[in-house]
Every structure is written in structure tokens, then in C-alpha cells.
Amino acid sequence: MGSIEINSDNFGSEVLESSVPVLIDFWAPWCGPCKMIGPVIDELANEYSGRVKVCKVNIDEDAALAQQHGIVSIPTLILYKDGQLAAQKNGAAPKHDIEALFKNLI
């Protein structure tokens, strides 16, 4: 299934109303560390399909959504569970650290 591009228009339906935890990757095409973890994010999206929804927000295309979440550095990973902010991690991280954000919630 892969990751889902989200923006201000579909944030409510894709994230806040999701029945499964949602991992959001705030990124930009010019960000080196974002490119490093991009394949890991996609891998997790496929591995946890149906149990965790993995979404991406391009901060260049939706600066308002990034600002709303207080994103000051990228990559930033945010986890929502039941429409509430559950966890946040800044910077590039290995796969097991990213998995740890949601593993105990599924």
C-alpha cells in the first residue's frame, strides 16, 4: 500500500478519524536526512499495512500543517492514536527506533 500524502485538506479524515495509529513523516525533497529515512518509512508502511497508517507531509507544499504541528526541523515523525498526538521524534533514526514509536500501540 505504501505511504499516503497528506495535507491540510485530508488531515482530518486520514489522521484524526483513523481507526489505526498514524505515523506522519514531515519531510522536504531537499532534506538529506529525509531522503535517508524515506525508504525505511516506505518499508514500514508496507510491513504494517492495515495496522498502522503511514503518511507523509511535504512541508514545502503544506507549510501551514507543518507550522500547526510546530515543526522546526525535519525529518520529524509524529504519531497519532485515536485522533490524539501520542509520540514525536525529531531527526533521522534507524528503523527499530521508528518502529518503537508505534509498536506498543498496535
Query: Which residues are designated catalytic?
Result: 31, 34
Q: How many C-beta atoms surround the C-beta of residue 20 within 10 A?
A: 17
Q: Which residues pair with 88 in a beta bridge?
A: 78
Which SS3 state, helix, strand or coil, does residue 27 take? Answer: strand
> Which SS3 state, helix, strand or coil, does residue 42 take?
helix
